[in-house]
Structures are given as structure tokens and as C-alpha cells.
Chain A
Amino acid sequence: MKFLDEFRDGETVAKLVRAIERRVTRPWTIMEVCGGQTHTIVKYGIDEVLPAGIELVHGPGCPVCVTPLEVLDKAHTIASRPEVIFCSFGDMLRVPGSRGDLLQLKSQGADVRIVYSPLDAVQLAAANPQRQVVFFAIGFETTAPANAMAVWLAARRGLTNFSVLVSHVLVPPAIAAVLDAPDNRVQAFLGPGHVCTVVGYAEYEPLVARYNVPIVVTGFEPVDMLEGILMTVGQLEAGEARLENQYGRVVVRDGNPASVALIGDVFEVCDRKWRGVGSIPRSGWRLSEAYRQFDAERRFEVEAIETTESSVCISGQILRGIKKPHDCPAFGSTCTPDTPLGATMVSAEGACAAYFAYGRLKSVDGARRLQPSGEVGV
């Protein structure tokens, strides 16, 4: 497929790896923010072809993983109601809340449906006026235009039987939380390409300045990621900290103006809890006052539900790049994708689930070391 095959081409990948090898003289720790990028790295073994000393650590950018337990419990409560058709993206169905997951609820007779797009849920509401259709609106900035469009369209069509359970999270406050952690070891970031397609990267420039850290907005294919790493390493080796854009074929500085305007109309910034991390100020979106009548939490009176995470797992440290999946004694034994203990195992894009899926049960670190001369040795 055009714009995919050429960005997965082995020869181009090899050229970029050689260019990175030529550039590196010292070890560097780089975080890829987005779960989709983590998936590419592990799937294609990008971390294994890089010069030793370049360590990729995996960031908090998996919205399915970080959706807090209490929101899942609210979803469970709403979806249990007989009048409700509860619609969700497929990846949310198997995420366990404290009372089980939505798939189990469906098997017990609840009307839980997977939709491809939030706009499909609006269609469903129009076709079923006697039922209440609720869409589980989770995601980072990438998913916000589609979710906002669904709400806007429902308002325009005067649908009174459509509502959304919103758990939107934002990337820049999460990057700041990673950098503010006292044990942070991340020296540069591969920025989230699709988030920036929507909202642009102007918001990342203050982070670069405040923390003196390079951020390179990067795409999701192997060629994109290796070029992003090459640009990042170039800055680190030169002692620079700038915002650069590797993903120019879809990302411009100010994002998509129509999307930014619609999001600003339908949503407003709020504090948000992140599963495994805790509350981060001003790190999410909720419906703005003008669209509050579409808020499923209000409509079904589940605002008061609170759940305490009782987790023995280390997903919070993995989400902040402090630890890797194999550092956890439960990884691959008591904690697997079928019986996940925490955030990073619940979705295919979580770092633990990606490591498990591609058989990364042991650490590859230490197999190769960067020699003082800068040459890669065994």
C-alpha cells in the first residue's frame, strides 16, 4: 500500500541504521511516547538493530492502558442497564475493571457493541430512538476530532438518546510528569505523530525550552521511527534541544485548524486520573458546558463512583520509563494478556502486552555494549 510499503522497506531501514551508527558516540535514553510506536519497535525489533547504548524506553501513550479503573466501573454500571446500547472501540472490551470486563458483561446479556467509528454510534442512536446509545469516548488528542464530531452531530440532529462516557487524556502534561519525576532518565522524546497531526506541535515547544530536552515529532512506520531516532541522536550528540518534525507528510505546526476548532467547542480541559500513574492536573478533556447534556456520567448518575487501584504491579514505573516489563516478577507468570494485573498489560499497545506478544520474555540489554571508543562491541 502506498505510504506504508515504502516506509517498511528493509533496505531503507538498513541505510538509516547505518546513519545512526555513524552519528552515535555515547549512550542515550530516548522515550517514544505513543503506544503505537512501542508496538512498531517491538514488532520490527527496532531496538535490537540500533547501536547498543541507544536505549528506547516506552512512554505512557496508550489510552486504553491509562483509562482509570473507576471509569471502567462506570462503563460497567451504565452498560448493565437494560435500555442501554453500550458502544466501544474493540480494544476496551477486554480491559478489566474491578467488576470484570465489558465482554463478560456482554456474555451475560448486556447490549455491548463494538463500533469502528464514534459516528457509527450516532447512526445507531438515530436508528434506535427507543434505546439509549452510549459511546465510550476514550483516547488521546488523535481520537478527539472523531469523538467531538459524534457529539456535535448528535446535537445538530437533535438526538436525545445519545451520550458519551468521556475519558480523554492529553500528551503534553504526561511528558511533563515523566520529566518531573525525580528518578527520570529520559534524555529525549520521539513525539506522538498522530496526536500532532490533530493539534500540532506548538504546545511541545515550551516543554523543549523548559526542560532543555529534544522532542522530534515522529511517525509510526519503521522508516519513520528510525529517521526520528537519527534526528534525535543528532541533537543529543550536538548538545542541542529543539523541536523537530520528522512526520511532515501529515503534521504541520498548528495541526488541523478544523479539528482544533471543533475540539475547542465540544471539550474543555480538566484534571484526569491515569491508571498506574495517578491524577495529573489539566491532563484531560471533558465535555464543555454547552454539550454537557450528552454526558453519560450525568445522565446515568454514575459520577460518584470511585475505585481505588490496589495494584502490586509496576506499570506506573513502566509508563514513566523508569522500568521495563522484564523488571517485574509478575511479568509473563501471574500477569499475562489473559490475566492482566495492570495498565501496561491490558491493551495490545501496552509495553508489557507488546513484549509478551513478541516473545520478549527476557531482557536483551547487556548482550551488546557500547565501547568507550564509540564502536559497537559484543
Chain B
Amino acid sequence: MNKTELPAIVWLLDDEPQVVESLQWLLQTVGLETCTINSALELLNLPLDQQPGCLLMDVRMPLASGLDLLQALKKQKILLPSILMSGHADVTMAVRAMKLGAADFFEKPFNDQQLLDSLQAAIASHRLALTKQQLLTKLTQRYAELTEREQQVMLQLICGVQAKKIAANLNISPKTVDVHRHNLMQKMQVNSLAELVHAAMLLGLPLAFSF
């Protein structure tokens, strides 16, 4: 089963167990799965990007603050979005949180609807990000499976170079170019040149070819 289709999970991190418990209860009422994290260390060792979700954590915690954790997650290239909560928020704190990539910032206590909307949006974005990531992984894999000649042909194809021209460039016959083209389209699992160009863009291949 594709992990992007897995049910979403909300990770909860707060030093106040009563708050965590109430959040669990609230989120269950709307059918959201929750998982309580007990410490910052535990958070950083969890497989956070294995299923769509969102991290909901307090800013002020004893050992590492929510802002510190945001930075740490960013460093680990975790895609999971974070929503921060604070009992005594101020503008400086909120701005810093947003700059560090927080998805949203709530002041306790919060309006449930707003929180849920924000959570859903964050989960959706995570799902999208995960999908993108999955696609990219597949494309990278497929691209890596191409032969050197197929890669050369592909780089010229996505730049709009015609088959004859490619054949002349590579000193091969246009027929051979057609064979390579057929093979690489199959290997990359695309049906049209447009799809191939899209895949190349995702892979970050150069879209200009010089001779």
C-alpha cells in the first residue's frame, strides 16, 4: 500500500500530559489518529515521513524549545509540517516560528475548528509532499536504469532536438535513435514527450542543450 494513502497521524508533543490527553480526545472525535511523543529525543528518532501527518507541539518545553526542534527537523530534511502552540505567545515568537517553517501558530487555548482546519491543511500538504517525494524517488530510480546512450538521447529529446539531429550528434543512425527513444520512454514509464519533459523537470535535468 502506498504510504501516501495511509491514514493521517497527528504527532503530539507537549510537556503537559493533560493537554496532550485532551488533544487526543478532541482529535479522535473528528477521526484523526494521534500519537503522543514523550520527548524531543524520541521525536527526532521517529519515522515521521512514513505516513501523512502533522506535528503539533508546544513552544515552551523544558529541554528543547519547539523552535529548536523545528530547526532540528529542518536539518534532517523531514517533510512533516509542524504546528506550534504556546500558552503565552508573543509576536516575536510567532514570527520566528513561521520563519523556521512552521505551518501555523496557535495561542492556547485555541478554537477547535481553526486548529482542525489548519491540521487538515498541513496533513494535505504533507501528503502532497510525500507524493512528490515518492514520484521523485521513482523517477530517479528509472533514470538511473537508463543506459548511457539512452540518457544522452533523453537529454536531447527533452530539449526538443529532432531525431535526425540527435543521430548526427551521436554519430548513429536515426533508426537507432528511434529504438533508444522507444526503450527510454518505456523505462521511464511515460507515454508522451510532454510526460518525459515533466519527469526531466522533476529530476532537475538541464533543459537547454548545447552542441
Q: Do A and B come from one complex?
A: no
Binding site for A on B (CB under 8 A): none
Binding site for B on A (CB under 8 A): none
